[in-house]
């Protein structure tokens, strides 16, 4: 079984896509950068909700869970977003 990617790797990929530092996109209203980082942090890295909430600026477990669920729905509906997510998943797995 392959090792899980590190949270820092997830942040590096999202920061490169969003062309912004984590502090910038994690607090941006309506932006998907924080939600995609939380989604991969949970699904790819296997991090607990509490740790993700702390990394996202002190969000509650419930808020993190809802953000992950909302992003999963967006991912299922949007083909461009899904294609981007698939390429990021490959990057995470290759560079773990």
pLDDT (tens digit, 9 = 90+) per residue, 59-92?
899 999 999 999 999 889 988 888 877 877 787 7
At residue 24, the pLDDT reads 55
Percent of the chain at pLDDT exceeding 90: 28
At residue 30, the pLDDT reads 60
Residues belonging to the chain: 96
Res 49 pLDDT > 90: yes
Give the Cα separation of 8 and 29 in Å (integer): 22
Structural contact between residues 62 and 69, judged by C-beta atoms closer than 8 angstroms = no
pTM of the model: 0.79
At residue 60, the pLDDT reads 94
At residue 3, the pLDDT reads 81
| Chain centroid to CA 43 | 9
| Mean pLDDT over the full length of the chain | 82
Placement of tokens 């820092």 in the chain: 8
């Amino acid at each position: 079984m392959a090792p899980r990617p590190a949270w820092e790797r997830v942040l590096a990929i999202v920061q490169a896509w969003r062309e912004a530092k984590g502090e910038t996109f994690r607090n941006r209203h309506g932006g998907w950068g924080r939600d995609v980082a939380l989604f991969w942090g949970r699904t790819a890295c296997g991090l607990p909700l509490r740790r993700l909430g702390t990394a996202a600026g002190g969000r509650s477990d419930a808020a993190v869970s809802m953000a992950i669920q909302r992003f999963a729905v967006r991912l299922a509906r949007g083909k461009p977003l899904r294609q981007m997510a698939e390429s990021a998943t490959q990057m995470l797995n290759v560079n773990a």
